Copies of this chain bind each other. A is one copy, B any other.
């Protein structure tokens, strides 16, 4: 099932056709408040009133020409202004390929610097999302270069990759911001753990490595980006054992998934940030979300049938 959904996510023929189907557009509403930024901002205002932050991402992946990267950057600059104007405790998460990584890495770096500099004015962090393993090393390297110059930049690391334990140790001396996810691409066993229990074990191990660094006084900002509430609670137990407060890490979950748990955790004193996606290019992203959790597929089917 997971392999099929990830194949569908990559298939260009389906990518053209599925998003035009009305039932598909209805099903995707489970994971995003709407295609336009305005719907995302309104959802974020509601989360703010419930004591939760928001992490925004505009969907869209590889570009055809570098000029498009400038437009994406301008859009995110507009978004940062909108967050300030409306007093929304939001941050943005961007994919480097959206900023031109395949076409012009130097231009990508400059685009990131523009975003980071603007976000710094309001004390916000710009998060770099992680894509398929072709990009991992380049993304970590670009992050290092940015982080040396700017305090307010974060990176996403994927627990299913075997290299992630070493990447965390490589980045910790930089006082990084790390958002840890399980990982949603179809990666080979040579570089990635494939069994769920191995991915979970690595998630817990990497999570504890970051918590240990925090307990030793390292200024590391930790985001646990997973819907696996049991795993988050296990890590919360380790944080408590290390004498860390509940605010030592942030829990980051997607809009629409386990909202009851997001609210409960926020209510219990954990820092919760809801990840809100928007934009028209939702098809491959949506298929990866379905691949992540069997429960999501069932939910989508019920929305289509109902």
Contact = CB atoms under 8 A, between A and B. Distances in A.
Interface residues of A, number: 32
Contacts of A249: none
B207 A237 contact: no
Interface of A: 162, 165-166, 168-169, 193, 195-198, 200-209, 212, 216, 230-231, 234-235, 237-238, 240-243
A241 B204 CA distance: 15
14 contacts: A165-B237, A169-B241, A195-B230, A198-B230, A198-B234, A200-B200, A201-B203, A201-B231, A205-B208, A205-B234, A205-B238, A208-B212, A209-B212, A209-B241
Contact of A166 (B169, B230, B231, B241): B241
A267 to B, nearest CB: 22
A196 B197 contact: yes
Contacts of A193: 234
Query: 5 tightest CB-CB pairs across the interface, nearest first?
Result: A197-B197, A201-B204, A204-B205, A165-B241, A166-B241
A169 B238 CA distance: 9
Contact of A242 (B169, B201, B237, B241): B169
B166 A202 contact: no
A257 B263 CA distance: 46
Protomer copies: 2
A207 B35 CA distance: 44
A166 B240 contact: yes
A242 B200 CA distance: 20
Given A162-B237, A198-B230, A241-B168, A207 B209 contact: no
Contacts of A197: 196-197, 200-201
A250 to B, nearest CB: 18
Q: Which of A212, A240, A241 has the most CB of B within 10 A?
A: A241
A51 to B, nearest CB: 27
A289 B243 CA distance: 36
A197 B193 CA distance: 13
Contacts of A234: 193, 198, 201-202, 205
Contacts of A165: 237-238, 241
Contacts of A202: 204, 234
A205 B235 contact: yes
Nearest to A235: B205
Contacts of A204: 201-202, 204-205, 208
A108 to B, nearest CB: 28
